[in-house]
């Protein structure tokens, strides 16, 4: 990986981090309607995975999906406007944080139902295989989703039908408010083995590791359609949702997260490779300016008209 | 004009749709090599190959979700759920995903999928293989639900469903699969949401769909012998349903009975009765009477199932009540 490529990954991670920090603040100010699930600490996963993807590849996501969405290249202003419930949002203010989608960018949607993205992405991978253009599909899910029955159904079918789907598990150790070790009697590597699906585990907080592993798996499945699993060990810094005080977590555990911060790790690697403070600061300034401009535009945008409530329930007008 | 059977009409619609559009593909349990539990997909694997006819594992939620994802990626999947009772396992994919994607994503795209599934009793298939659950689906904004009552409609409604850009549930009736009927040389293009006057009449209106249409026609025969002319409306589609057609008929006959095989309480008939009691209030000369299954699981035993399903006698009794 060239220093320039590495710096680009850093810039993308920082974009997600600063965007979520901005959302965190907007939420605290009462400007974000509904629920907000932040992926702070997990940015290296979608940025690393997306470095292997084209716009025609499809991804689907879960409730903690801001990083997946931004990494797929969606418009930053439309993203902020959607989460603020504005008419100019990517989904015209009808979806919000848990349902951001941009079909033009191959982003098939965040999802409010745990593990629901798996069958949708399995179907998308089937479509890719039928269309024969070498495109692939990626589904992001957490370790908490592994307790859902659909995981079994989809691993089974993806293997049986040799579908080009990358199952990306962001394993942050938490199933909402419970440690996953109390929720799951097995592990994803064992499930991979059981189904005969290629399995790789990486430090999900080291973006280069994620990018390298994803790049290799994706290149393979473009040539010969087949599923693969990429389990990324990562860290959930914030609560299950904003407002969750995380009383159920040990303070030592939370304090230790900082040392594994993916952005800090990437910055250290960049510095070791010769980048200086000024170069990093320049990237940060550029990212922050973009986030601020997007936030301002989204805040100024109009709310949806109440009269639009029936729009788009169906494609054609009712008879 | 040639005679065909309901199940053959379904098969023909699938065959023709696959011929006309290379993005149409089939997915379901035992639909390929076995040709489907009721043979709706017979010969289609041989004709179109395993890249377009997918014999899926027994995994209804995944089958339905795969249809959603493929539809969002440029394909037109037609999924089969072997018995309507099994859609309980597909409900998240139908209700939270397929139905909502277009609206929830701000109209960016749509989910052009079809889910075919048979409902209804008459085969002594018991409480988990006989239910009519279409009202659940009709209650969900974003889904369309059609229920063909005869072979020609089974063809035309399925073609219309496959052509539709939104998710459509095609509810077939197991007891009708062997039904014979005429198939026009040029099948009718049906607009989803438009009803059909199955039998014109001036004294009372019976609204029905699916297998209940035949029962309503039989009841109309009985009444005709007494000089009472009953109009039978075949809804064809329960979501959306043809409110204008029902209201127009009611404004001529002034009496209304609604019939379905599904449980009467909280059913499609309740919606139709409520709307007509509202917008058709001034037209009513008698109570709106519903005929449906009693509030009990659909029973297995022959005598019990016969007593459970609506029939012409019960529709006649309902007509006498509203006309009294």
Report CB contact under 8 Å: B142, A314. yes
Is the confidence at residue A167, as pLDDT, over 50? yes
Average pLDDT of chain B?
Answer: 97
Report CB contact under 8 Å: B54, A161. yes
DSSP bridge partners of B232? B199, B206
Q: pLDDT band for position A319 (50/70/90)?
A: very low
Which of A112, A116, A124 is the closest to B73 by Cβ? A124
**Annotation: CATH topology of B196-323:** Rossmann fold (3.40.50)
Domains of chain A: 3-305 (3.40.50.970)
Measure the CA angle with vertex A121, ends A117 and A125; round to 5°. Answer: 175
H-assigned helices in A65-148: 66-71, 76-83, 117-131
A91 contacts in chain B (CB < 8 Å): 104-106, 108
pLDDT in tens, B175-211: 999 999 999 999 988 999 999 999 999 999 999 999 9
Q: What average pLDDT does this structure show over B47-68?
A: 98
Assess whether B139 carries a catalytic annotation: no
pLDDT of residue A250: 92
pLDDT in tens, B243-280: 999 999 999 999 999 999 999 999 999 999 999 999 99
Is the confidence at residue A297, as pLDDT, over 90? yes
Is the confidence at residue A317, as pLDDT, over 90? no
Residue A232 has, within 13 A of its CA and on its CB side, a CA count of 33
pLDDT in tens, A227-280: 999 999 999 999 999 999 999 999 999 999 999 999 999 999 999 999 999 999
Is the confidence at residue A94, as pLDDT, over 60? yes
B2-183 and B196-323 in the same fold: yes
Q: Exposed e or buried b for every residue in A136-162, given b needs 16+ CB within 10 A?
A: bbbbbbbbbbbebebbbbbbbbbbebe
DSSP B280-307: TGGG-SS--EEEEE-SSPPP-SHHHHHH
pLDDT in tens, B206-239: 999 999 999 999 999 999 999 999 999 999 999 9
Report CB contact under 8 Å: A313, B77. no
Which of B70, B97, B108 is the closest to A124 by Cβ? B70
Nearest residue on chain B to A132, alpha-carbon basis:
B51
Report CB contact under 8 Å: B64, A119. yes
* Domain parsing of chain B, residue ranges: 2-183, 196-323
Q: pLDDT band for position A316 (50/70/90)?
A: confident
Q: pLDDT band for position A1 (50/70/90)?
A: confident
pLDDT in tens, B129-162: 999 999 999 999 999 999 999 999 999 999 999 9
A60 contacts in chain B (CB < 8 Å): 69
pLDDT of residue A50: 98
Is the confidence at residue B13, as pLDDT, over 70? yes
Strands (E), A75-172: 137-142, 165-171
Assess whether B60 carries a catalytic annotation: yes
Query: What is the sign of the dihedral through the CA atoms of A146, A148, A152 and A158?
Result: negative
Residue A85 has, within 13 A of its CA and on its CB side, a CA count of 12
**Annotation: CATH topology of B2-183:** Rossmann fold (3.40.50)
């Amino acid at each position: 990986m060239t220093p320039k490529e590495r710096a680009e990954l850093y810039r993308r991670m920082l974009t997600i981090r600063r965007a979520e920090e901005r959302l965190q603040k907007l939420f605290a100010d009462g400007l974000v309607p509904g629920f907000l699930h932040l992926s702070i600490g997990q940015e290296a996963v979608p940025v690393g995975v997306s470095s292997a993807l084209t716009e025609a590849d499809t991804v689907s996501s879960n409730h903690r999906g801001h990083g997946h969405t931004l990494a797929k290249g969606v418009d930053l202003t439309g993203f902020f406007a959607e989460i603020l419930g504005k008419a100019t949002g990517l989904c015209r203010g009808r979806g919000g944080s848990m349902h951001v989608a941009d079909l033009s960018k191959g982003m098939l949607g965040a999802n409010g139902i745990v593990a629901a993205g798996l069958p949708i992405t399995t179907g998308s991978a089937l479509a890719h295989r039928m269309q024969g253009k070498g495109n692939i599909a990626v589904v992001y899910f957490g370790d908490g989703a592994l307790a859902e029955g659909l995981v079994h159904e989809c691993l089974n079918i993806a293997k049986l039908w040799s579908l080009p789907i990358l199952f990306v598990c962001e394993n942050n150790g938490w199933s909402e408010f419970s440690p996953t070790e109390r929720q799951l009697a097995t592990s994803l590597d064992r499930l991979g083995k059981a189904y005969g699906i290629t399995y790789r585990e990486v430090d999900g907080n080291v973006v280069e590791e994620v990018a390298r592993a994803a790049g290799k798996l994706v290149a393979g499945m473009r040539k010969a359609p087949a599923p693969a699993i990429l389990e990324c060990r990562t860290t959930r810094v914030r609560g299950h949702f904003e407002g969750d005080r995380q009383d159920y977590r040990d303070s030592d555990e939370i304090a230790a997260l900082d040392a594994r911060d993916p952005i800090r790790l990437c910055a250290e690697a960049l510095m070791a490779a010769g980048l200086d403070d000024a170069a990093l600061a320049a990237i940060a300034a550029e990212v922050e300016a973009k986030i601020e401009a997007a936030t301002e535009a989204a805040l100024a945008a109009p709310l949806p008209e109440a009269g639009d409530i029936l729009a788009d329930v169906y494609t054609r007008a009712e008879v | 004009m040639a005679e065909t059977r309901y199940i053959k009409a379904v098969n023909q619609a699938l065959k023709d749709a696959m011929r006309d559009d290379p993005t149409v593909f089939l997915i379901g349990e035992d639909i390929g090599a076995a040709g489907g539990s009721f043979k709706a997909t017979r010969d289609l694997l041989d004709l179109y190959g395993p890249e377009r006819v997918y014999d899926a594992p027994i995994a209804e939620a995944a089958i339905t979700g795969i249809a959603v994802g493929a539809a969002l990626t440029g394909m037109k999947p037609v999924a089969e759920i072997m018995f309507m009772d099994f859609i309980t396992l597909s409900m998240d994919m139908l209700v939270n995903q397929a139905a909502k994607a277009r609206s929830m994503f701000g109209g960016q795209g749509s989910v052009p999928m079809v889910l075919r599934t048979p409902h209804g009793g008459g085969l002594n298939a018991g409480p988990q293989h006989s239910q009519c659950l279409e009202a659940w689906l009709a209650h969900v904004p974003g889904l369309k639900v059609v229920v063909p009552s005869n072979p020609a409609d089974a063809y035309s409604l399925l073609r219309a469903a496959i052509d539709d850009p939104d998710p459509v549930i095609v509810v077939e009736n197991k007891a009708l699969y062997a039904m014979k009927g005429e198939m026009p040389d040029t099948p009718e293009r049906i607009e989803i949401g438009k009803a059909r006057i199955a039998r014109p009449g001036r004294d009372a209106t019976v609204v029905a769909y699916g297998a209940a249409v035949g029962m309503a026609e039989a009841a109309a025969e009985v009444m005709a012998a007494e000089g009472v002319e009953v109009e039978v409306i075949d809804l064809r589609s329960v979501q959306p349903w043809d409110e204008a057609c029902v209201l127009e008929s009611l404004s001529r006959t002034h009496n209304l009975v609604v019939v379905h095989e599904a449980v009467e309480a909280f059913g499609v008939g309740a919606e139709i009765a409520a709307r007509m009691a509202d917008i058709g209030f001034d037209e009513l000369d008698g109570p709106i009477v519903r005929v449906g299954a009693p509030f009990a699981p659909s029973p297995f035993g022959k005598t019990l199932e016969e007593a459970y399903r609506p029939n012409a006698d019960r529709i006649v009794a309902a007509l006498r009540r509203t006309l009294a």
